[in-house]
């Protein structure tokens, strides 16, 4: 059967960017940047995107286009002994989709709160905590978000949603730039802007690198087989390297602006205390309503903003669910309906503990983490680095970089060829290995950094 293809580079870049740009950029990046020292996190993140990220993305796309298959099949075709890397990659979206939908549910809740005149209430201290600590409300919103995702996947309306989001994405960018501009110009924001932009090298640690690396994989949708699948739909005359650079640029800019919108606002509204910078997953939800509260027409702007974030989150969750469904379809020979139902059941089962982990189960900890943080940690800081490491070793030493370079160079010769091989063979594996081992040891208390 001939595979459907994207219409051209623009089509491919937009579809892949729709998957890449999501809650990772707007919700996750700012709270990690706040937590891990602002400027230093930003710097490490940028270096990682430019070195490991872009090449890994190019390599995954090339693997997909060369084989015409998604993760498991692509590894198997290139060398049948290594299909386990594909399986490991496939585990990531299965673990991410449930808790992604919990956060998506929070966004849905905030959108409806703003629509129904609750903008001021949502800016009060304790609003977020009491919402997430209640049992049923967050669960209900989680199910609404997951349901919306499932409907799109069931009825195949994702094409429609993608069309809409192509128009809405640029609007989101413009709005985020506007909000960031507003925040930066407030009196008292300077300290926060400096915290976000100036690297403080005394705060550099292996943990910063691990957090930045996990975020880079997550945000760029690499190290989980998704870009392999996207590559399998890409036409041969579209440039892989140029596409990867454009997706990375777009993705990074949105993360950067989101940080600029949220991190200085923490200084504005809570003086940048350590506790407020360390809020974690709640940061965006605590901070942005306060920003809107201080803006003329803030309630309306906030409503539009949360709607746009909801769309960005949906395009990403749809691509996550699509991936999981197609894995179940291919590997278990299930019909599309059954595979979708199985995905739903698993997501609900894993999503429930993540949701009630902020309330009813707040004393239940795994490795000292709440459920949501635990799933996030296992997928982003453990499995994804391992998949990225194995993928780099596989390309570097089993199939050899040249195999993929042939695919990448089908459109035009790659000037930075040497970098590609160097990164894939040495830089990426060494960096990932050091970071992964040190930080795992420290997590289990065997080592202090």
Residue with tokens 């060398």: 79
Report how far residue 29's alpha carbon sits from residue 26's, in angstroms, rounded to the nearest whole number.
6
In the complex, least distance from residue 188 CB atom to ligand PHE, rounded to whole angstroms: 30
Which listed residue (6, 12, 17, 22) binds ligand PHE by CB under 6 A? 22
The stretch near ligand PHE (CB under 6 A) out of 18-26, 142-150, 297-305, 327-335 is: 18-26
Tell the smallest beta-carbon distance from residue 184 to ligand PHE (Å): 23
Span 288-317, contacts to ligand PHE by CB under 6 A: 316
Tell me the closest approach of the beta carbon of residue 282 to ligand PHE, in angstroms: 17
According to DSSP, the residues that pair with 32 across neighbouring strands are none
Which of 23, 88, 327, 350 is the binder for ligand PHE (CB under 6 A)? 23
Verify binding: residue 320, ligand PHE, rule CB under 6 A: yes
Residue that the structure tokens 């570097």 belong to: 396
Cα 260 to Cα 26, 284, 364, 421, distances in angstroms: 10, 12, 34, 35
Q: Residue 109 contacts by C-beta under 8 Å, 6 or more apart in sequence?
A: 131, 137, 138, 141
- Interface with ligand PHE, residue 327, by CB under 6 A: no
Q: How many residues does the chain have?
A: 449
Is position 138 an interface residue for ligand PHE (rule: CB under 6 A)? no
Q: How many CA atoms lie within 13 A of 182 on its CB side?
A: 20
Write down the least CB distance from residue 87 to ligand PHE, Å.
17
208-247: which residues touch ligand PHE (CB under 6 A)? 218-219, 221, 224, 226
Comparing CB distances to ligand PHE, the nearer of 25 and 149 is: 25
- For residue 27, the minimal CB distance to ligand PHE (Å) is 8
Structural Rg of the chain based on CA atoms: 21
How many residues touch ligand PHE (CB under 6 A)? Answer: 15
**C-beta of 24 vs 396, nearer to ligand PHE:** 24
For residue 299, the minimal CB distance to ligand PHE (Å) is: 26
d(CA 34, CA 280): 9
Sequence-distant (≥ 6) Cβ neighbours of residue 209 within 8 angstroms: 44, 48, 431, 435
CB count, 10 Å around CB of 421? 18
d(CA 149, CA 316): 9
Instruction: Examine residue 24 and tell whether it contacts ligand PHE (CB under 6 A).
Output: yes
Report the alpha-carbon distance of residue 33 to residue 41 in Å, rounded.
6
328/342 Cα distance (integer angstroms) = 8
Q: Is 421 among the residues that bind ligand PHE (CB under 6 A)?
A: no
Pattern 56-95, ligand PHE, x by CB under 6 A: -------------------------------------x--
Is 392 one of the binding residues for ligand PHE (CB under 6 A)?
no
Q: Could you tell me the smallest distance in angstroms from the CB atom of residue 320 to ligand PHE?
A: 4
Contact (Cβ atoms closer than 8 angstroms) between residue 262 and residue 193: no
Q: Counting contacts by CB under 6 A, is residue 132 touching ligand PHE? A: no
Given phi > 0 = left and psi -120 to 50 = alpha, else beta, which region is 204? beta
Residue 89 C-beta: closest distance to ligand PHE, Å? 11
For position 101 contacting ligand PHE by CB under 6 A, the verdict is no
49 forms part of the interface with ligand PHE (CB under 6 A): no
Collapsing DSSP states into helix, strand and coil, what is residue 313?
helix
In terms of CB distance, is 19 or 343 closer to ligand PHE?
Answer: 19
Q: Which residues bind ligand PHE (CB under 6 A)?
A: 19-20, 22-25, 93, 218-219, 221, 224, 226, 316, 319-320
């Amino acid at each position: 059967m001939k595979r459907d293809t994207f219409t051209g580079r623009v089509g491919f870049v937009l579809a892949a960017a729709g998957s890449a740009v999501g809650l990772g950029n707007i919700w996750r990046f700012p709270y990690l940047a706040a937590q891990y020292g602002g400027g230093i996190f930003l710097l490490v993140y940028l270096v990682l995107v430019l070195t490991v990220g872009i090449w890994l993305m190019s390599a995954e796309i090339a693997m997909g286009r060369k084989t015409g298959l998604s993760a498991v099949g692509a590894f198997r075709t290139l060398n049948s002994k290594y299909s386990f890397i594909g399986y490991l990659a496939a585990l990531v979206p299965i673990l991410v989709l449930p808790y992604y939908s919990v956060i998506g549910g929070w966004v849905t809740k905030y959108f409806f709160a703003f629509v129904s005149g609750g903008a001021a209430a949502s800016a009060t201290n304790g609003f977020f905590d009491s919402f997430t600590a209640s049992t049923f409300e967050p669960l209900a919103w989680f199910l609404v978000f997951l349901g919306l995702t499932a409907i799109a996947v069931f009825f195949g309306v994702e094409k429609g949603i993608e069309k809409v989001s192509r128009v809405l994405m640029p609007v989101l960018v413009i709005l985020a730039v506007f909000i960031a501009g507003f925040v930066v110009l407030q009196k008292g924001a300077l300290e926060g802007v400096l915290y976000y932009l100036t690297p403080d090298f005394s705060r550099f640690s292996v943990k910063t690198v691990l957090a930045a690396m996990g975020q880079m994989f997550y945000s760029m949708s690499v190290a989980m087989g998704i870009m392999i699948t996207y590559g399998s739909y890409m036409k041969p005359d579209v440039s892989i390297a140029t596409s990867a650079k454009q997706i990375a640029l777009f993705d990074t800019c949105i993360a950067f602006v989101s940080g600029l919108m949220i991190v200085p606002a923490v200084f504005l509204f809570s003086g940048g205390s350590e506790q407020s910078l360390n809020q974690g997953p709640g940061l965006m939800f605590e901070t942005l309503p306060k920003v809107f509260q201080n803006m003329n027409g803030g309630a309306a702007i906030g409503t539009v903003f949360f709607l746009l974030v909801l769309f960005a989150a949906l395009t990403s969750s749809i691509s996550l669910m699509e991936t999981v469904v197609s894995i179940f379809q291919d590997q278990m020979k299930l019909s599309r309906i059954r595979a979708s139902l199985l995905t739903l059941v698993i997501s609900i089962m894993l999503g429930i503990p993540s949701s009630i982990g902020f309330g009813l189960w707040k004393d239940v900890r795994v490795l000292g983490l709440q459920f949501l943080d635990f799933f996030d940690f296992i997928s982003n800081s453990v499995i994804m680095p391992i998949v990225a490491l194995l993928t780099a070793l596989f390309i570097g030493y089993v199939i050899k970089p040249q195999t993929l370079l042939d695919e990448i160079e089908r459109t035009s010769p790659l000037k930075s060829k040497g970098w590609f091989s160097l990164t894939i063979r040495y830089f990426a594996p060494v960096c990932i290995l050091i970071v992964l081992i040190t930080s795992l040891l420290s997590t289990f208390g065997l080592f202090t950094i």
